[in-house]
Structure 1
Amino acid sequence: MEPQEVLASTVGRVRILTLNRPASLNALTPSMVTLLIEQVAGAVAAPEVGAIILTGTGRGFCAGADLKESEKRAMAGVDNTPFIRSILRLGSMLEGGPKPVIGAVNGIAVAGGLELLLACDFLLAASSARLGDAHSNYAMFPGGGATMRLPRRIGLARAKRLMLTGDIWSADQALEAGLVDAVHPDDALMPEALALADRLTVKSPLVLARMKEALTDAVSQSPETALRRERDLNELHATSFDRAEGLAAFREKRKPAFQGR
């Protein structure tokens, strides 16, 4: 019996999604991406879930698409386009979804694995993690959003260097470049990811969703458009329950009880 390609568990209000093909460094298959899409959609729809952690089992976070499977599809004349588009869809769900997503990089993360991480809101890496694009090493062209998201995260010059050379960076190099937000000892990675997720789940899910939306959209908008959008969201948020509850909690010196509305 084949092992489940994606494991899902819940700790408190945190949904943990774990890539589970350790023998192949969690390389992506069409069925695996479909499962991830379903799990992310389920986590987004669940009101009891306040944050999502994406990680992997074994020595790798994700080595990208399973190239052996890709070659088999090519030799059989099977169109690879639906698979690539499903990875793009998954990235859009992670980046554009209302709930914060933490990527916990437990090992090697290259190609499509890096592209999944670039769609996350926070990136924490284990000390032994290694990250890179690596598409150029095998004459592969990225299809999961790297050409758009990587330069926005680390700047155009660094993105060109990482993508064109095919280099793999250590966790510390990735931290220095701004590719990851923090580096932790291997055995502290998940505790640190859960601690960050717990900090997020006590916030108003409504304000986090609106902040995430505004920030993500602003990167590709003119300053004028982004400021108008912030103004509109601010005016919309002014009538929300959570804003009123936050003000009342401040006045009454108590913890707020947000409802996400």
Structure 2
Amino acid sequence: MTNASGSAADVSTNGYVDGFAEGAVLLERRGPVAWVRMNMAEKRNAMSEALVQGLARAVDAVEADPGFRVMVITGSGPAFSAGGDLALFQRLVGSGTLDTFDTYLERGRAMFTRIEQFRRPVIAAVNGVTVAGGLELMLTADLVYAAETARIGDGHVKFGVMPGGGSTARLSRRLPFNVASELLLTGRLADPRELAAHGLVNAVLADDALETHVQQVAETIARHSADGIARIKALHARARDRSLDDALATEVRALLDYARGPDLLEGLTAFVEKRAPRFR
């Protein structure tokens, strides 16, 4: 394992982060990579209040630690996430007031948006069934790698539920419109190979190879300038909603601003000196 400078990483600090060795969400350090693991396998990692709060706490911890260069989100057991906790939904909707349901939905929406806009790269390691809120969480990631036995879809309609965490807003931005429509309107779960053919999934791996592959991809990203990677991620995300001229002009301004920091000069100097760059 190597760190951002290309030298051997200190693996002595690997392991669970304090306060995250047990509970609804685990946080494990693997070199420069934060592994956020939903840990309610008995409920197929349904989006209970405890799991949503645990995800928020884990993201807080990753954000506060500059040693983490990449964040991976995955699940324990046979599911990445089966989506919203429908028993909780039933209690909230049947309570006679929708205020608490509204609060729950807003908390989830805010968390998904925060992950989507996270400064560091986010990878979804889709280990199993991914449906409804699980799909919505997956759609916030920059890269998606799936186990070959995973099944992925929206599924809300199967129980008369509508999306509330981004499926209708994000899915057609990542898939052809008619393909997204089929998943939304039928509720079917797709083989990840089908979704890889449409570009939603980056690669499909054997179940026992998924985490190793994702760690390798994450370490490759982590070797680069953290500042440069963050800027590229933000520019790429915003470019979809801008005109080409505006996106090009914004890219040039961002490069000039990046040049005021140390990493561009370090990278160019390393190239001239024929050595690996040593980024901050």
Q: Same fold (TM over 0.5)?
A: yes
Moved over 4 A (4+): none
The residue that corresponds to 1:135 in the other structure is 156
Partner residue, 2:36: 17
What pairs with 1:78-93 in structure 2 (closer than 5 Å)? 79-93=100-114
Give 1:109-120 correspondences, 5 Å limit: 109-120=130-141
Q: Report Cα offsets for 1:115-167 as digits up to 9, x if no partner.
A: 00000000000010000001111121111111121111112111111111111
The structure 2 residue matched to 1:107, chosen from 124, 128, 133, is 128
Q: Percent identity?
A: 35
Distance of 1:62 and 1:86 partners within structure 2? 17
Q: Find the partner of 1:213 among 214, 234, 239.
A: 234
CA-to-aligned-CA distance 1:146-199 (integer Å, 9 cap, x gap) = 112111111211111111111110121121222211000000000011011110
Which residue does the alignment assign to 1:257?
A: 278
What does residue range 1-261 of structure 1 map to in structure 2 within 5 Å?
A: 4-77=23-96, 79-259=100-280
Q: Which runs of 5+ in 2 are unaligned?
A: 1-21
User: Which deviations, in whole Å up to 9, do the C-alpha atoms of 1:37-67 show, x marking residues without a partner?
Assistant: 1211221221100001100000000000110
TM-score (norm: length of structure 2): 0.89
Q: Give distance in 1, aligned partners of 2:162 and 2:243.
A: 29
**Inter-partner Cα distance in structure 2 for 1:253 and 1:100:** 28
Query: Does structure 1 retain, via aligned residues, the 8 Å contact 2:112–2:137?
Result: yes
Q: Which amino acid aligns with 1:192?
A: H
Q: What residue identity is the alignment partner of 1:188?
A: A
Distance 1:116 1:215 in 2: 19
Q: Is the 8 A contact 2:80 2:129 kept in 1?
A: yes
Paired position in structure 1 for 2:10 = none
Q: Which amino acid aligns with 2:92?
A: R
Aligned mates of 1:4, 1:211 — CA distance in 2: 34
- Counterpart residue identity of residue 23, structure 2: Q
**Structure 1: which 5+ runs fail to align?**
none
Secondary structure class of the residue paired with 2:73: strand
For 1:88 and 1:155, the matched residues in 2 are separated by 23
Distance in structure 2 (CA, Å) of the matches to 1:163 and 1:84: 19
- Tell me, yes or no, if the aligned pair for 2:266 and 2:279 is still in contact at 8 Å: yes
Shift of 1:34: 1.7
Q: Aligned partners of 1:209 and 1:53: how far apart in 2?
A: 16
- CA RMSD across the alignment: 1.2
How many Å apart are 1:257 and its aligned residue?
1.0
Q: How many residues align?
A: 257
